[in-house]
Amino acid sequence: MDTTLQDPSPAFGRGDPMVGQVLDGRYRVDGRIAVGGMATVYRAVDTRLDRVLALKVMHPTLAADVSFVDRFIREAKSIARLSHPNVVGVYDQGADGAYVYLAMEYIAGCTLRDVLRERGALQPRAALDILEPVLAALGAAHRAGFVHRDMKPENVLIGDDGRVKVADFGLVRAVDTVTNTTGTILGTVSYLAPEQIEHGTADTRVDVYACGVVLYEMLTGAKPHSGESPAQVLYQHLHEDVPPPSAVVPGLAVELDELVASATARNPEVRPHDAVALLGQARQARAALSLDQLDAVPPQARTAEHEPRDNSDDRTNVLPRSVRPVQLPLPMDGVQDQRDPQDQLNRTSILATPPPAPPAAPDRRRRASPRRGVLAIVAAVLLALGLGAGVWYINSGQFTKVPPLLAKTEPAAKKRLDEAGLDVKDVKRAYSDTDKRGTVMATDPKAGERIRDNGRVTLTVSMGPEIVKVPSLKGTALDEARSKLKDAGLAPGMTTKAFSDDVRKGSVISTDPDSGSKRKAGSAIAMVVSKGEAIDVPDVTGDSQADATLDLQDAGLKVKIATKRVHSEEDKGTVVDQSPREGEKQLAEGDTVTLTLSKGPEMIEVPDVEGMSVDDATQKLEDAGFEVDEDRGFLNLFGDTVKGQSVEGGDDAPKGSTITIKVR
């Protein structure tokens, strides 16, 4: 699949029915990023966590196919286990009706394919700067037991911040899983290793081969094998070595030729055994290059700007192991690629069995199959010793390998075992959140393990997710309710509190979902717990501390005295404020009310205003913080001089109190 996780153009995806939808009640689809053979990738927003992510949605026509759904689930589990900085992370996996999706890390940037189309061949330093983090990501996968199987420039993402990440583990397989298939191959034509084409087998070395092809493409701007049909490209993979990059770009260092040759050896036994080993070779090659060799500017003769580019083999394909082209299907999803005149070759191909392949060109190197030669010699020696096929039977003929049965229905698995000459020892059943009901989720021995002919295999068949009922918890104490949920196979979820007139404090009022509802085992159940009856807070301001405390305790509330006291007109030691105040909120029994006590009024010095005019005296007293009253007497209505004051100047009086001035 070509599932680039990058910024789409504003119009990209216009008219797509998914755009604007909210998937699974959580993921809002904002725009389409890319369309692949099995899925479409959208830019979306996780409305729950308010973050941008990439949503990879399987084409609804494929969602009914168990193998495709299993591949999606396998991709999510595999990447989640890797947790590597150079691997695109997976946040979530789920289904909404006909839509099966992965919620993935969103990378703003472009793919390596975009870079190659725009720039053509890269400088060796840039090529190695991209290759090394790719190999680090694949190395982590290989050491964790996985093979990517679909490495190509489309699956190498380059962020705007320069980070390199590997995407699209949709074809990932366990290293020890038998990957022989009957009749078809999954992969991308230009990057398939010879053993994938000829035998359908895939281990860590197929990723090494693909990385060698990608390195060749970065150094030269072109693929090592080309043709008018996938069949011609596959034939070259089988019969022709990848040429040295220096044959296309003269002056490239011999160390780079050797690195490409090592990674793309047609015999897998000659290749580095995994990406970690190839990463070591890449670093050795870098260390051997001079600055001039690392920064050599390649000629740009073979870029998309200078010649038509056929990217027919850039897409993931389903191919028979021996191939010839037949009529290709119409373009998927109505998406036309105007850049390529041979548009049909850009689509997923269905290829049939070919006529006998033409002989290889005489000037090409061709390696004989070492396996057939060795078998012929061994057979001759055994016959000469009179042992014949009996020795073969004793040493290996008594054994066979357990075929891959995961995701097969129970009848199909039993039939496959019977075809392999094996019996079913036992069928166990177990719950599973990821394996479809009635399908095989495990075998003992595991797929690929050797077992004697007529041996017996134990199948574990999925019963689907375990479904349990939510118990009735109303009136149950919180600790006991939590225990009952765990006993029922559920998990205690968020707890909120509410007032209740009929449920005692600390007991469950209700659950979400309601009792009797059916949920998957392990689901979280939210509970509302009683705070008891609601209590109206009485007003105790102006009361003494003792009286206020008694009134609040009689109401079932606790009392706390604030450490800081304040000046007020209230008498010292009386309540000047309370929190909460009367009518502000209702409290539950045992809740606390905080009281603030008065220090009494603040005492300040009274200014001396005798002899001043009435206006000046009034202004001075008010500025000091006092109220002013005039005493003019009956015969001095028009006087304007202060002859006395109720509090002598220099004495203290409560701030805000009234000072009377006598006017004569």
- 157-161, 300-304, 537-541 — which is least confidently predicted? 300-304
Same domain flag for 180 and 306: yes
Q: Which one has a higher pLDDT value, 355 or 512?
A: 512
In a domain, 77, yes or no: no
122 to 4, 223, 302, 375, 476: CA distances (angstroms): 20, 13, 11, 44, 70
Token reading at 320: 């028979």
Q: Is the pLDDT of residue 257 over 60?
A: yes
pLDDT of residue 636: 66
Same domain, 573 and 608: no
pLDDT at 414 over 90: yes
In this structure, what token pair is assigned to residue 183?
């009749």
Q: Which of 210-214, 318-322, 401-405 has the highest mean pLDDT?
A: 210-214
User: Quick check: 133 pLDDT over 90?
Assistant: yes
pLDDT higher than 70, residue 428 = yes
**Structural domain of 498:** 467-530
150 is catalytic: yes
Looking at residue 315, what is its pLDDT? 52
| Residue 559 within any structural domain of the chain | yes
Asked if residue 195 and residue 318 are part of one domain, the reply reads yes
Which pLDDT value is given to residue 482?
Answer: 94
- Residues 37-56 have a mean pLDDT of 90
d(CA 151, CA 171): 10
The residue out of 462, 486, 507 marking a domain boundary is: 462
Q: Is the pLDDT reported for residue 497 higher than 50?
A: yes
- pLDDT on residue 89: 85
Return the higher-pLDDT residue of 523 and 125. Answer: 125
Last residue of some domain: 570, 597, 624?
597
Instruction: Indicate whether 515 belongs to any domain.
Output: yes
Do 403 and 525 sit in the same domain of this protein?
A: no
For residue 446, is it within any domain? yes
- Angstrom distance (rounded) from CA 146 to CA 138: 9
Q: Are residues 220 and 277 in the same domain?
A: yes
The highest-confidence range among 20-24, 63-67, 446-450, by mean pLDDT, is 20-24
Say if residue 458 is in the same domain as residue 571: no
Give yes or no: residues 204 and 352 share one domain.
Answer: yes
Where is mean pLDDT largest: 227-236, 355-364, 400-409, 507-516?
A: 507-516
User: Range with the lowest mean pLDDT among 73-87, 169-183, 622-636?
Assistant: 169-183
In Å, what is the CA distance from 527 to each residue of 475, 480, 509, 589? 12, 12, 8, 20
Asked if pLDDT for residue 383 goes beyond 80, the answer is no
Q: Residue 569: which pLDDT band, with cuts at 50, 70 and 90?
A: confident
User: Which residues, in sequence order, are CB contacts of 595 under 8 Å at separation 6+?
Assistant: 540, 545, 548, 549, 559, 560, 561, 562, 575, 577, 578
| Rounded Cα–Cα distance for residues 173 and 596 (Å) | 70
Say yes or no: 184 and 317 in one domain: yes
Residue 252's pLDDT is what? 94
pLDDT digits (tens, 9 = 90+) for 6-15: 444 433 445 6
Query: Which CATH number belongs to the domain containing residue 309 in this structure?
Result: 1.10.510.10
**Of 530, 557, 585, which residue is a domain's last?**
530
Range name among 67-76, 131-140, 395-404, 584-593 with the lowest pLDDT average = 395-404
Do 351 and 204 have their domain in common?
Answer: yes
Q: Give a yes or no: residue 292 inside a domain.
A: yes
Percent of the chain scoring above 70 in pLDDT: 78
d(CA 494, CA 496): 7
Query: Do residues 312 and 241 both lie within one domain?
Result: yes
The radius of gyration of the chain's CA atoms, rounded to the nearest angstrom, is 41
In CATH, what number is assigned to the domain containing residue 448? 3.30.10.20
- Phi and psi, residue 396, nearest 5°: -135, -25
The answer to whether residues 302 and 314 belong to one domain is yes
Arithmetic mean of pLDDT, 466-473 = 93
Q: How many Å apart are CA 567 and CA 625, to the nearest integer?
A: 14
Helix, coil or strand: residue 208: helix
Percent of the chain with pLDDT over 90: 48
pLDDT at 386: 38
**What is the rounded average pLDDT of the residues 334-349?**
34
Residues 6+ positions from 19 with CB-CB distance below 8 Å: 13, 29, 30, 31, 32, 42
Judge whether residue 436 has pLDDT over 80. Answer: yes
Query: Alpha-carbon distance 8 to 4, whole Å?
Result: 9
Q: Could you give the number of structural domains in the chain? A: 5
By residue count, the chain amounts to: 664
Nearest to 38 by CA among 242, 333, 351: 333
**Residue 297 Cα distances to 116, 207, 294, 376, 557, angstroms:** 14, 28, 9, 50, 82
Query: Which DSSP category does 333 fall into?
Result: G
Q: Is residue 608 in some structural domain?
A: yes
- Going by C-alpha positions, the residue among 588, 594, 580 that lies closest to residue 497 is 588
pLDDT at 328 over 70: no
pLDDT score recorded for residue 201: 80
pLDDT band (50, 70, 90) for residue 356? very low
Distance CA 289, CA 281 (A): 13
One DSSP character per residue, 470-496 reads PPP-TT-BHHHHHHHHHHTT-EEEEEE
pLDDT score recorded for residue 354: 39
Give me the catalytic one of 150, 314, 435, 543. 150
Kindly state whether residues 471 and 456 are assigned to the same domain: no
357-381: b (≥16 Cβ within 10 Å) or e: eeeeeeeeeeeeeeeeeeeeeeeee
Read off the DSSP letter of residue 396. I
CB atoms within 10 A of CB 78: 22
CA dist., res. 589 & res. 604, Å (int): 44
Most confident listed range (70-74, 263-267, 385-389, 568-572): 263-267
The lowest-confidence range among 160-174, 189-203, 455-469, 546-560 is 160-174
Which one is predicted more confidently, 151 or 390? 151
pLDDT at residue 425 tops 70? yes
Question: Locate tokens 């949605």: which residue?
Answer: 57
Mean pLDDT over each residue of the chain, to the nearest integer? 80
Q: Residue 140 falls within a domain, yes or no?
A: no
The answer as to whether 372 is a domain residue is no
Task: Give the pLDDT confidence score for residue 232 in this predicted structure.
Answer: 87
Q: How confident is the model at residue 214 (pLDDT cuts 50, 70, 90)?
A: very high
Tokens 């049939």 belong to residue: 352
